[in-house]
Amino acid sequence: MADIRIEGVGKTYPGGKTPAVENINLTIHDGEFMVLLGPSGCGKTTLLRMLAGLEYPDAGRISIGDRDVTDLPPRKRGLAMVFQSYAVFPHLTVFENIAFGLRMQKRPAIEVRGRVENAAGLLQLEPYLQRYPAQLSGGQRQRVAVARAIVMEPSVLLMDEPLSNLDALLRLQFRAELKKLVSEVKTTTVYVTHDQVEALSLGDRIAVMRSGQILQVAQPMQVYDEPATEFVGSFIGNPPMNFLHASSSGASMVTIGEQSLAAPAALPDGDVLVGIRAENLQAFTSPPAGEGALKAETVVVEPLGSHNLVTATVEGQVLKVVTRTDFAVQPGAPIWLEPEPDKLRWLRAADGTRLEG
Ligand code: ATP
């Protein structure tokens, strides 16, 4: 069993004015793929390095399985790490790179061969075992780094932006391969990235971080669909979730400028934010039957192949709408936007936190 428990962990670097991470509580289940996602500087690498034992927390405890590892050095934690830079030894063949950790442990040659070949097979590296890193592409070198980590059969695999040095196409390909690999080896994995698409694609759960804190921990679709805060809704998804400023005065209605929108009965009075994803608005070129559509003005239409992305304004507030490719509308023209009622999210305007749910 290698679940990871992080309890009350905090860290301020010497000379740092604010904590790099603050009072983090997170449990990662055995075999789970947990993504730490957040913008640059939010503390995700610091948290990963504390799991690895490369940094020590000022406060809190970390345990892996049934062992408290807070005071243990990295090599006693039973984990392996893959970094952004490929970190392979240039003077060793692919075989010897993958074998390195096993050789250090003085494993018998026959076991080394078997385990290296197995790891190489999982990462489709068999044809390259006798090559040197300089004779490999960036993607292949990063696969060597991953093979070198998993060959050790760690109880926990830590990865820090392992795809970020790859070009766009390789990233896409390797992302899918990594997902398949990790589901096969079933190792508890903690994966750091600032790329929300990677997080959505790979994670069993995502911990969204900002300014040293975790804002939400949930399955990818839940983070996407039910963001705990305005920041989470804006950070995840392309385009970001739309947020409209509205005013609630009870009576199951909010007003947005001159227009109104049905709202939950329990909504408190005052300023609120209405969150809605671009694909949960249906666009019309003439007023649809029934109530509930907001009148908007078209600003830009971008044909993106599979769909159009329309930028529009509602009462001066900008929002994005996904439409079919045959939705024909010119900039400046009026359109009507009908939100899917069960996809509306209600947040406090004051601090951007969720009001219900
Ligand atoms: P990135 O995606 O840019 O790597 P991150 O989310 O991983 O960012 P961290 O590297 O954990 O963020 O940094 C968190 C905060 O701690 C930042 O404000 C950073 O400047 C600071 N920090 C990180 N490492 C050190 C260090 N060795 N000494 C002092 N401050 C540090």
DSSP three-state, residue 204: coil
Q: Which CATH number fits domain 4-234: 3.40.50.300, 3.40.50.720, 2.40.50.140, 3.40.50.970?
A: 3.40.50.300
CA dihedral of 218, 223, 227, 228, whole degrees rounded to 10: 10
Atom of ligand 1 nearest to the CA of 43: 11
Strand-pair category, 79-82 with 188-193 = unpaired
Give the three-state DSSP class for 336: strand
43 pocket-lining for ligand 1 (C-beta < 6 Å): yes
Digitized pLDDT (tens) for each residue of the chain, 357 residues in all: 689 999 999 999 999 899 999 999 999 999 999 999 999 999 999 999 999 999 999 999 999 998 999 999 998 998 998 887 767 899 999 999 999 999 999 999 999 999 999 999 888 899 999 999 999 988 888 889 989 998 998 999 999 998 887 778 778 888 888 888 888 888 999 999 999 999 999 999 999 999 999 999 999 999 999 999 999 999 999 999 999 999 998 788 999 999 999 998 888 889 999 999 999 999 999 999 888 899 999 999 999 999 999 999 999 999 999 999 999 899 999 999 999 999 999 999 999 999 974
**pLDDT in the model for residue 86:** 65
Secondary element (H or E) of residue 115: helix 109-122
* Nearest CA residue ID for atom 16, ligand 1: 20
Residue 210 C-alpha from the chain's centroid = 12
b/e per residue 309-337 (b: at least 16 CB within 10 A): bbbbebbebebbbbbeeebebeeeeebbb
Specify the pLDDT at position 288.
92
| CB-based contact 341:262 (threshold 8 Å) | yes
Name the CATH superfamily housing domain 239-348. Nucleic acid-binding proteins (2.40.50.140)
- 8-state DSSP, 354: B
- pLDDT of the residue at 23: 96
**Coil, strand or helix: which one is 142?**
helix
- The half-sphere exposure of 54 on its side-chain side, counting CA atoms within 13 A, is 11
**CB of 41 closer than 6 angstroms to any ligand 1 atom:** yes
DSSP 215: E
Q: How far apart are the CA of 50 and the centre of ligand 1, in A?
A: 12
Query: Ligand 1 in contact with 194 (CB < 6 A)?
Result: yes
pLDDT attached to residue 357: 45
d(CA 163, CA 165): 6
Pocket probe mutation, ligand 1, options 24, 42, 208, max atoms within 8 Å of Cβ: 42
| Domain layout of the chain by residue ranges | 4-234, 239-348
Residue 193 Cβ < 6 Å to ligand 1: no
Q: What number does the ligand 1 atom closest to the CA of 42 have? A: 6
For residue 1, the model assigns a pLDDT of: 62
Token pair 């983070």 is at which residue? Answer: 223
